[in-house]
C-alpha cells in the first residue's frame, strides 16, 4: 500500500461532502445512468430479480397475517382469563 493512501482517501471523502463535491457527484451519476451499457445492466438486473421481489412481498404479507392471527389469539386468551381481576 502506498504511504499516502489513507490520507488521500480521507481527503477525497472530505471533498465529496463539500457543496461542490456533492454537485459534481450528482451531475456525474446523472450522466452515468444515461449510458446505454449502464441502462442495459440495470434492466438485466431488474428482469433477473423481478420474480424474487414478488416472492419477498408475498412472504412479508404472510408474516403480517400470521402475526395478526397470533395477536388476536393471545388477546382472546388474555380477555377470557378467569383469574384476571382489574385492580385500581
Distance CA 75, CA 35 (A): 56
Distance CA 1, CA 17 (A): 25
Helices 19-33 and 5-17 pack at an angle, to 10 degrees, of 90
Q: Has this prediction a pTM greater than 0.75?
A: no
**pLDDT score, position 86:** 61
Distance CA 44, CA 39 (A): 9
Distance CA 77, CA 71 (A): 10
pLDDT digits (tens, 9 = 90+) for 30-62: 999 999 999 999 999 888 887 777 777 788 888
Amino acid at each position: 500500500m502506498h504511504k499516502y493512501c489513507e490520507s488521500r482517501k480521507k481527503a477525497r471523502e472530505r471533498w465529496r461532502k463539500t457543496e461542490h463535491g456533492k454537485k459534481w457527484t450528482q451531475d456525474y451519476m446523472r450522466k452515468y445512468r444515461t449510458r446505454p451499457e449502464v441502462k442495459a445492466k440495470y434492466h438485466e438486473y431488474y428482469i433477473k430479480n423481478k420474480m424474487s421481489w414478488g416472492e419477498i412481498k408475498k412472504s412479508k404479507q404472510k408474516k403480517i397475517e400470521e402475526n395478526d392471527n397470533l395477536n388476536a389469539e393471545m388477546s382472546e386468551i388474555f380477555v377470557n382469563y378467569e383469574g384476571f381481576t382489574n385492580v385500581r
